[in-house]
Amino acid sequence: MDATGIVLGAITILAIIVGPIAALWVQRKLDEGRDERNRKMWVFKTLMSNRAVRTSPAYVQALNLIDVEFTANSDKEKAVRDAWKELMDLYKDFNVTPNAADKSTELNAVLLAAMGKALGYSFDKVYLKKGAYYPEFLGNVELEQHALRRALLDLFAGKRRIPVGVFEEKFPEIKVPKIETTELPAQEEQKKLGR
């Protein structure tokens, strides 16, 4: 066998061994990239779908995953992390910040715009602030549930009492008519015999 045959044989054996391994490695990298994008998309979709109710547990959970999922060193993902840091800073000082609700709406729109841009979407801030659908009925239900919860907590803490009213209603006396019974002849005989 000449040198060319030996080299071709070695290349063939190497291709047989390395080819499938390389294919598996490429497939794994593709799967990891797809999983990473899907996790980022879950965070983005959760924030978008709950942007009208920013106190929902799903919304808060998605916010807390931003630092875990948007970790690339790209300018787009850095913009997402920076927007999140600014919004989180406002949330931490919410009660002492003037116009905190308006500022949080603005910063939330900035965050969602940056996140959308990092994922290939283009939303303007006006849409992100006012484009969510949240029926008035759901808002009323949420307020009522909060009021009930607060009232129960106050009751259990002894800050509130249950008002009790006593009503007296007199019912007319029920007269039961007396029913006359007639005795059967056999019963009459037994009475006569003393039984």
Residue span of the structural domain in which 86 resides: 3-130
Task: Burial-class residue 63 by CB neighbours within 10 Å (0-12, 13-18, 19+).
Answer: buried
Q: Is residue 166 part of a domain?
A: no
Contact status, residue 134 vs residue 50, Cβ threshold 8 Å: no
The neighbour count for residue 78, using CB atoms within 10 Å, is 15
pLDDT tier at 1, thresholds 50, 70, 90: low
Q: Is residue 124 part of a domain?
A: yes
CA atoms of 86 and 194, how far apart (whole Å): 105
pLDDT tens sequence across 153-195: 998 899 988 888 877 787 778 888 777 766 666 666 666 666 5
The count of structural domains within the chain is: 1
Select from 78, 76, 75, 69 the least CA-distant residue to 117.
76
Q: Is residue 106 part of a domain?
A: yes
Structure tokens at 14: 């190497």
Q: Is residue 69 part of a domain?
A: yes
Q: Is residue 62 part of a domain?
A: yes
Task: Burial-class residue 54 by CB neighbours within 10 Å (0-12, 13-18, 19+).
Answer: middle
Structure tokens at 88: 């989180």
Q: Is residue 65 part of a domain?
A: yes
Contacts of 111 (CB under 8 A, 6+ apart): 47, 80, 83, 84, 87
Q: Is residue 158 part of a domain?
A: no
pLDDT tens sequence across 41-92: 999 999 998 888 888 899 999 999 999 999 888 999 999 999 999 999 999 9
> pTM value?
0.65
Contact status, residue 56 vs residue 50, Cβ threshold 8 Å: yes
Q: Is residue 88 part of a domain?
A: yes
Which residue carries 């002894």 as its tokens? 158
Task: Burial-class residue 30 by CB neighbours within 10 Å (0-12, 13-18, 19+).
Answer: exposed
